Amino acid sequence: MTQLRYLIEYAALRFGLWLLGCVSFAAAQRLAVRVADFWYRLNVARRRTARDNIRRAGISLNSVEVDRIARESFRHFALLVIESVQTHKTFAGQTWQQHIEMDIHPETMSVLKEPGVGVILVSGHFGNWEVAARILSCFKPVVGVTKKMSNPYTDRPIARRKTHNRLSLTPMRDADAGRFLSVLKAGEILALLVDQYARGRKKVMVDFFGVPASTHPSPALLHLVTRKPLCFGYCLRTGPMRFKLVAGRPIRIPPTGNRESDIRAILLELNRRLEEAIRLTPEQYVWAHRRWRTT
């Protein structure tokens, strides 16, 4: 039965990709919104998770507003998929510059442009992180960490569409300190998402919107060990295939000599910056992710 399900999912994926190639981007957007609205009604568990997370984060307590933000969040994710599929055509050559507005701190821009300098770039499930990675690869090679899909048939074509010669992905299960260190030593950008639920003994409980959340310490540890620039950024949708790439000043927290304290301070700052971004446009955050599984 599992094999049959994998084949059905693969056939659906191929049909979806074919359909996207046949219709205009505007039509693909309309279709994505309809699919998202249908999924919002159908998937009761994810809908409940999204609503609960919005309330827990203090974004809104009004039930009508909470429902609106949750529904828009589902639509945002569907549009993100469409945009990510389209980028290989839309951003060909130098045409990407027509679609991107940049608001990057001069110090961060300097390290992005400086050859041979590895950069730890952290973001969250906010805006379009896949478009951000593709744009950053125009400065220097980018290596991102991804979770492999359980279906091997669908995993391969999706991975091929996400990568190109200056953007590569490392499966989460293969990602280790050695791999990360080699990326930074090669002067490339290591792209990490800070808001994924962390499992295992190395997790750190750090406040996210004032609520303790299990967090990966990797960005903080890598920064403390390598002293490579640590930056936070995000890519906000501003219109149809229009985006704003935002990155603040590199994070600098003087080490105290207490590694546990330093890691916590860095993770708190990363979460704080992500919170600020989400409050600006909560509809572009993936609220259906189970961020708070333990308290």
Distance of alpha carbon 132 from alpha carbon 123, whole angstroms: 9
Residue 264 has pLDDT above 80, yes or no: yes
Quick one: pLDDT at residue 163?
63
What is the per-residue pLDDT across 132-179, written as a single tens digit (0 to 9) for each? 988 898 899 999 887 766 666 566 666 666 666 688 877 766 556 788
Residue 188 has pLDDT above 60, yes or no: yes
Distance of alpha carbon 245 from alpha carbon 234, whole angstroms: 6
> At how many degrees (to 10) do helices 152-162 and 2-22 cross?
30
Name the band, by pLDDT with cuts 50, 70 and 90, for residue 210.
very high
Contacts of residue 225, defined as CB under 8 A and 6 or more positions apart, other chains included, come to 181
Quick one: pLDDT at residue 6?
65
154 vs 112: which has the higher pLDDT:
112
Quick one: pLDDT at residue 261?
93
Provide the whole-model pTM. Answer: 0.89
Quick one: pLDDT at residue 81?
86
Name the band, by pLDDT with cuts 50, 70 and 90, for residue 114.
very high
**Residues 255-283, mean pLDDT to the nearest whole number:** 94
Q: Which regions of the chain does DSSP assign to beta strands (E)?
A: 100-104, 119-123, 142-146, 167-171, 189-193, 204-208, 211-215, 230-239, 242-247
Residue 229 has pLDDT above 60, yes or no: yes
172 vs 279: which has the higher pLDDT:
279
158 vs 275: which has the higher pLDDT:
275
CA distances from 174 to 61, 145, 234 (A): 40, 9, 25
Distance of alpha carbon 262 from alpha carbon 265, whole angstroms: 5
Least confident of 83-92, 168-177, 232-241: 168-177
Distance of alpha carbon 204 from alpha carbon 207, whole angstroms: 10
What is the per-residue pLDDT across 45-78, written as a single tens digit (0 to 9) for each? 999 999 999 999 999 999 999 999 999 999 999 9
Residue 12 has pLDDT above 80, yes or no: no
Average pLDDT, the chain: 87
**Residues 257-272, mean pLDDT to the nearest whole number:** 94
Residue 201 has pLDDT above 60, yes or no: yes
Name the band, by pLDDT with cuts 50, 70 and 90, for residue 190.
very high
